[in-house]
A and B are shown apart, each in its own frame.
Chain A
Amino acid sequence: MPTATYGETAVPVDDEGFFTDPAQWTEPVAEQIAHESGIETLTDRHWTVIRFMRAQYAEKGTSPTVRVLGKTSGVSVKELYQLFPKGPAKTAAKIAGIPKPRGCI
């Protein structure tokens, strides 16, 4: 399994860089992943989404999709795209240190 190095620590990730073990995540790591994803600064609104996603993952064992986030996080789908322009569910999941949201088909 591939790893990514944040600070001094090597963290197990999947082929696309999503954490496979959310317990390895820290807030400074989130800032670093955000930079790599092209987001300069994590604002309070970003953190609202990130914390919400981690809580959802802890509760349900899956990462929420954009539509579910728009209905439940208190941040509209439109704003989610402004905060995480390259696909909110995927980008926010990566920054939040949880696995990639599953496409259901």
Chain B
Amino acid sequence: MSGPHLPYDSGDMGTHIVILGGGTAGTLAANRLRRMYDEHACRITVVDQDDDHVYQPGLLFVPFGMAEPHHLVRSRPRQLSAAVDYKQATIERVDPDARTVHLGGGVRLTYDVLVVATGATLLPEETEGLTGHGWGEKVFTFYDLPGAVALHHVLERFERGRLVVNVADLPVKCPVAPMEFAFLADWYFRRRGIRDRVELTYATPLDGAFTKPVAAKALGGLLEQKGIELVTEFTLGEVDGAGGRLVSYDEREVPFDLAVVVPLHGGASYVGCSPGLGDELGFIPVDQHTLQHPDHPEVFAIGDAAGLPASKAGSVAHFAGETLTLNIGRFLVGQSLDAAFDGHTNCFVETGFHKALLIDFNYDTEPLPGHFPAEVGLPLLKESRANHLGKLAFEWLYWHSLLPGRELPGIDSAMPERGKHRVDA
């Protein structure tokens, strides 16, 4: 497919689209743009600092021995269309006024359009004590591969005591994953026959199991059913590894023998060195419907890097892909942008025992019961084996449909209304 004709300056090398980040969002954006434009119409360059594309939804399963770490990692450039340039380099800063990206080794890239897709970074050192005594011994995160692997070894030897799962504060990637961890821990210890010797606690900064009332009630009910204590409005102020305590800013304490903490998240560190690019937390404050930067119209953001009032989840990047590429095309030919992105999010929530539930929502509609994508489909907000199989099947779709930037069969970018049932919480 050929896209709209792009304006050329004679003697120029043509339009250059630079995509920072070769993860989920950057990869699918590059592949979608490559399909939209012939190679002679524009150059597309993707920059990332390493060659490890991690299938992040798999990290949840590593601590329980349900996923092999090396199966989750593939080459970054090999997920890109052959006609996309891949540059492995550190990003030092962006100068939005000069439309230039400064890379390590003094290399500069100038762009006509910049797509920021460098995701979210874990910031454990921002929480007092988190990386101090006990870090890597009885305080862990499963949000990166080394952490998930280390936690696997420790869980295998865990025989009794208090396991606490905590989210330090929002935003975090895949906000349901910490709760899934608690559900899977319940199942794991039951299989090992030691569930009665393990106390499970889920401590969250939210005022319920989830932000939105209908899902909060359903998920809160599941926690209770599985005997997992729910501690709410717990914003992590300090980790006392030696004393085995999580302490909230309002000075409540949750004791632990093993703490699984999801650290604070921020944008990639170079954003802080790039004046006018990001917000206080290093995320890119783009328009929530067009994905365009308010001060720099040639800058767009997609995926976890974007400061959107949506979940930081791969599904959001996928559903935003269509709007992003369409709007870059419109921007390059001077047309007004299409405010099409609705914040569509779709998450399988693994609940153990070969079951999962599914939630589907957007900026305006909270997760509701019913079926997805229509009246006949997967059950929403309800545990089922079909949803668990859906979650497992997603890994194949991730590498073969989502990253290549293809639509998933029968699933539109906009959130489907049909199949959803309005209820009171």
- Interface size, A (range): 10 to 19
Q: Which residue of chain A is the closest to B285 with respect to CB atoms?
A: A60
Q: Taking each of B169, B249, B309, which has the highest tally of chain A beta carbons within 10 Å of its own beta carbon?
A: B249
Given the contacts A67-B281, A68-B280, A71-B281, A103 and B206 also touching, CB distance less than 8 Å:
yes
Report yes or no: B250 in contact with A81, Cβ–Cβ below 8 A: yes
Is there contact, CB below 8 Å, between A68 and B281?
yes
Q: Is B314 an interface residue (CB 8 A)?
A: no
B-contacting residues, A82-103, CB 8 Å: 85-87, 102-103
- Is the CB–CB distance between B169 and A67 below 8 Å? yes
Expressed in whole angstroms, the Cα–Cα distance for A72 and B280 within the complex equals 7
Interface flag for B327 (CB, 8 Å): no
Which residue of chain B has its CB nearest to the CB of A64?
Answer: B280
Q: B237 at interface (Cβ–Cβ under 8 A)?
A: yes
B237:A105 contact, CB within 8 angstroms: no
Q: How many residues of B contact A (CB 8 A)?
A: 22
**When A78-B237, A103-B211, A105-B175 are in contact, do A67 and B250 touch as well, CB less than 8 Å?**
no
Chain B residues whose CB sits within 8 angstroms of the CB of A104 once the complex forms: 170-171, 211, 308-311
Q: How far is the CB of A15 from chain B (nearest CB, A)?
A: 11
List residues of chain A with CB within 8 A of the CB of B311.
104-105
A85 to B249, CA, bound (A): 9
Q: Assess whether B250 is in contact with A86, with CB atoms less than 8 Å apart.
A: yes
Collect the chain B residues with CB atoms within 8 Å of residue A32's CB: none
- Known contacts being A66-B169, A104-B310, A105-B170, is A71 close to B237, with CB within 8 Å? no
A105 contacts B250, C-beta separation under 8 Å = no
Are B249 and A77 in contact, CB atoms less than 8 angstroms apart?
A: yes
Q: In the complex the two chains form, is B250's CB within 8 Å of A85's CB?
A: yes
Binary A-proximity of B290-326 (CB < 8 A = 1, otherwise 0): 0000000000000000001111000000000000000
In the complex, are the beta carbons of A105 and B210 less than 8 A apart?
Answer: yes
A20 within 8 A of B: no
Contacting B280 at CB < 8 Å: which of A71, A78, A105? A71
- The reply to whether B281 and A77 form a contact with Cβ atoms under 8 Å apart is no
Question: Inside 8 A of A71's CB, which chain B residues have their CB?
Answer: 280-281
In the assembled complex, the Cα of A86 lies from the Cα of B309 at a distance in Å of 24
B223 interfacial contact with A, CB 8 Å? no
Interface of B: prevailing SS:
loop
Within B163-185, the residues touching A (CB, 8 Å) are 169-171, 175
CB distance from A74 to the nearest CB of B (A): 13
The CA-CA distance from A78 to B210 in the complex, in Å, is 25
Complex CA gap A56/B170 in Å reads: 19
For residue A3, which residues in chain B have a CB less than 8 angstroms away from its CB? Answer: none
Query: Which of A65, A72, A78, A87 contacts B233 (CB under 8 A)?
Result: A87
Closest to A67 in B: B169
B309 contact set on A, CB distance < 8 A? 102, 104
In whole angstroms, how far apart are the Cα atoms of A71 and B126 in the complex? 11
B188-221: CB near A (< 8 Å → 1, else 0) gives: 0000000000000000001000111000000000
Tell me if B54 is interfacial: C-beta within 8 Å of chain A.
no
Decide if B235 is an interface residue (CB 8 Å cutoff): yes
Least distance between B163 CB and chain A CB atoms (Å): 23
**What residue in chain B is nearest A72 (Cβ atoms)?**
B280
Residue on A nearest B345 in the bound complex, by CB: A105
Q: Which residues of chain A are near B279, meaning CB under 8 Å?
A: 68
A interface residues (Cβ-Cβ under 8 A, vs B): 65-68, 71-72, 77-78, 80-81, 85-87, 102-105
Chain B residues engaging chain A, CB cutoff 8 angstroms: 169-171, 175, 206, 210-212, 233, 235, 237, 249-251, 264, 279-281, 308-311
Sample (26) of A-B pairs whose CB atoms are under 8 Å apart: A65-B170, A66-B169, A66-B235, A67-B264, A67-B281, A68-B281, A71-B280, A72-B280, A77-B237, A80-B249, A81-B237, A81-B249, A86-B250, A102-B309, A103-B170, A103-B206, A103-B211, A104-B171, A104-B211, A104-B309, A104-B310, A105-B170, A105-B171, A105-B206, A105-B210, A105-B311
Q: A65-B169, A67-B169, A104-B171 are known contacts; what are 5 more A-B pairs with Cβ within 8 Å? A: A67-B264, A71-B280, A102-B309, A103-B211, A104-B309
